[in-house]
């Protein structure tokens, strides 16, 4: 019998490269010039003690839908138009703002629209760090799990925004172009816009569940050119948008309306929308496992090994061991985006928020940016010499 489990104690494990990324630190009284990414991740990760009554991943995940809790985060929304015609459509960005009394019944709680005058004045030269958040499947800025992390972040003086996937958080789908697990175009446009609008702000990213997959795919696609400083990766509205979806000639709306299971949604909607022959082909292409190898900014991933949705067998342990820019922390208990403690708190919010806060406070970002980001050798060598190198973003060996 696992005595620790009876008292809610979860085992914490770290998976990483044998020589984790060295982070230059700001001047300190200790005289320390650098710390490793692994040491920082371990330092911000507290003992994981969860509610012992929720003793497995299914109960932890189930409690997410039962537990009623409120963390008041206020937003102002702005609708963005996709810049590329091939991915035409709109998406909503919710910016965290100070509390206000206005309401808008057409939007999630504590969310209203920016008016044009307010939004025209949003630009700033300040140096406050800013967090870009990507939610999970069919979620949005209203989700409680992301507000658990946003609260300590904004209380520390950060700015933050949430990129709502198309059609989520009561946003409208305006074209037949939806989003999928590899839909990195909207977050890419947002990050570019943020860099232009707030030129002095260090930008950070965090993703949850499907949003974590999108974030890692984005980081891999951007590689050494990524505009984010660091990132954290935390492990059915189709009827509402039927009119917009029906505009896509490749989609059979009658089959979509009869969907019962998630894989059917991917088979009848995602696959034909994006040109995948099967839902399995979509899953293989959208997976961020290979993209992880191309990440070139510090990445801290947190995952529960008893997650009933994103199971342990699917975790890319070997990929984390190959990339010095990434560290994976797993817990033996926690479920899917749950990790409920006594009192309703969520354990994962502590290491996630503290990693971001301490990274900004202690790491010398200028030196880190100037530091050479050496590419990780991924080729399979024969006799000490690799005949080819693996390109993770093309998923193939390429001749040297």
The backbone torsions φ and ψ at residue 96, rounded to the nearest 5 degrees and listed phi first, read -70, 130
The DSSP bridge partners found for residue 52 are none
Residue 107 confidence (pLDDT) above 50: yes
Please say whether the beta carbons of 166 and 88 come within 8 A: no
Residue 324 confidence (pLDDT) above 90: yes
Q: Is 126 tagged catalytic?
A: no
Share of the chain above pLDDT 90, in %: 69
**Mean pLDDT, the chain, integer:** 89
Which pLDDT belongs to residue 237?
Answer: 39
CA 384 to CA 292: how far, in whole Å?
A: 25
Which pLDDT belongs to residue 38?
Answer: 98
Length of the chain equals: 400
CA 130 to CA 201: how far, in whole Å?
A: 6
Q: Comparing C-alpha atoms, which of 304, 311, 313 is closest to residue 340?
A: 304
Q: Comparing C-alpha atoms, which of 56, 203, 34 is closest to residue 131?
A: 203
Tell me which H or E stretch contains 217.
helix 210-222
Q: How many Å from the N-terminal Cα to the C-terminal Cα in the chain? A: 53
- 4-50 pLDDT, tens digit per residue, is 666 789 999 999 999 999 999 997 666 678 999 999 999 999 999 99
Sign of the torsion angle spanned by Cα atoms 339, 238, 142, 109: negative
Q: Comparing C-alpha atoms, which of 135, 156, 153 is closest to residue 144?
A: 135
The DSSP bridge partners found for residue 75 are 96, 111
The backbone torsions φ and ψ at residue 287, rounded to the nearest 5 degrees and listed phi first, read -60, 140
Please say whether the beta carbons of 325 and 298 come within 8 A: yes
Please say whether the beta carbons of 392 and 398 come within 8 A: no
- 235-251 pLDDT, tens digit per residue, is 743 454 566 666 677 77
CB atoms within 10 A of CB 349: 23
Helix, strand, coil shares, percent, the chain, to 5: 35, 20, 45
Please say whether the beta carbons of 389 and 377 come within 8 A: yes
Q: Is 307 tagged catalytic?
A: yes
The DSSP bridge partners found for residue 208 are 234
Catalytic residue among 165, 209, 288, 353: 209
Q: List domains and CATH numbers for the chain.
A: 3-399 (3.40.50.1820)
Q: Which carries the bigger pLDDT value, residue 351 or residue 267? A: 351
Q: What is the per-residue DSSP string for 289-300?
A: TTGGGG--S-EE
Which pLDDT belongs to residue 296?
Answer: 94
**Lowest mean pLDDT across 42-56, 247-261, 266-280:** 247-261
Q: Which carries the bigger pLDDT value, residue 270 or residue 230? A: 230
- Helix segments in the chain, DSSP class H: 3-6, 37-43, 57-66, 116-120, 144-155, 185-197, 210-222, 242-245, 253-257, 262-265, 271-274, 279-286, 317-322, 349-362, 365-370
Instruction: Give Cβ neighbours of residue 29 (< 8 Å, ≥ 6 apart).
Output: none
Which pLDDT belongs to residue 29?
Answer: 62
Catalytic residue among 165, 241, 336, 353: 336
Q: What is the pTM of this model?
A: 0.91
Which pLDDT belongs to residue 378?
Answer: 46
Tell me which H or E stretch contains 194.
helix 185-197
Half-sphere exposure of 358 (CA within 13 A, CB side): 19
- 325-337 pLDDT, tens digit per residue, is 999 999 999 999 9
Q: Comparing C-alpha atoms, which of 123, 73, 132 is closest to residue 98?
A: 73
Residue 379 confidence (pLDDT) above 90: no
Please say whether the beta carbons of 75 and 94 come within 8 A: yes
CA 74 to CA 116: how far, in whole Å?
A: 18
Catalytic residue among 94, 186, 266, 307: 307
The DSSP bridge partners found for residue 9 are 49
State the Cα angle at 317 between 338 and 45, rounded to 5°.
Answer: 45
Residue 125 confidence (pLDDT) above 80: yes
């Amino acid at each position: 019998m696992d005595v620790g489990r009876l008292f809610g104690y979860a085992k914490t494990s770290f998976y990483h490269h044998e020589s984790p990324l060295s982070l230059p630190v700001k001047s300190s009284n200790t005289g320390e010039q650098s710390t490793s990414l692994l040491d920082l991740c371990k330092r911000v990760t507290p003992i994981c003690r969860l509610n012992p009554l929720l003793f497995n991943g299914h109960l932890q995940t189930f409690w997410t839908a039962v537990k009623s809790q409120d963390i008041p985060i206020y937003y102002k929304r702005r609708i963005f138009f996709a810049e590329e015609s091939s991915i035409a459509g709109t998406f909503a960005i919710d910016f965290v703002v100070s509390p206000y009394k206005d309401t808008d019944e057409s939007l999630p709680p504590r969310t209203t629209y920016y008016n044009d005058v307010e939004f025209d004045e949003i630009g700033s030269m300040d140096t406050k760090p800013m967090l870009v958040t990507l939610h999970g499947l069919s979620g949005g800025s209203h989700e409680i799990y992301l507000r658990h992390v946003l609260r300590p972040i904004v209380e520390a003086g950060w700015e933050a925004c949430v990129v709502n996937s198309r059609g989520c958080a009561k946003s409208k789908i305006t074209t037949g172009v939806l989003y999928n697990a590899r839909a990195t175009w909207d977050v890419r446009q947002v990050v570019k816009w943020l860099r232009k609008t707030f030129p002095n702000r260090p930008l950070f990213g965090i993703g949850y569940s499907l949003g974590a997959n999108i974030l890692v795919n984005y980081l891999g696609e951007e590689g050494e050119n990524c505009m984010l400083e660091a990132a954290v990766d935390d492990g059915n509205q189709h009827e509402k948008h039927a009119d917009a979806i029906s505009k896509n000639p490749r989609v059979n709306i009658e089959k979509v309306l009869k969907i019962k299971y998630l894989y059917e949604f991917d088979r009848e909607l995602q696959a034909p929308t994006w040109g995948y022959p099967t839902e399995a082909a979509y899953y293989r292409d959208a997976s961020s496992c290979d993209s992880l190898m191309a990440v070139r900014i510090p990445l801290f991933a947190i995952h529960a090994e008893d997650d009933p949705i994103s199971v342990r067998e699917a975790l890319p342990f070997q990929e984390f061991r190959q990339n010095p820019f990434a560290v994976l922390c797993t817990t033996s208990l926690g479920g899917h985006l749950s990790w409920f403690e006594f009192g309703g708190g969520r354990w994962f919010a502590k290491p996630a928020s503290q990693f971001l806060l301490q990274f900004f406070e202690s790491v010398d970002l200028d030196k880190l940016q100037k530091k050479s980001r050496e590419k990780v050798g991924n080729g399979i060598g024969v006799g000490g010499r690799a005949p080819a190198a693996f390109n993770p973003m093309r998923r193939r060996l390429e001749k040297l």
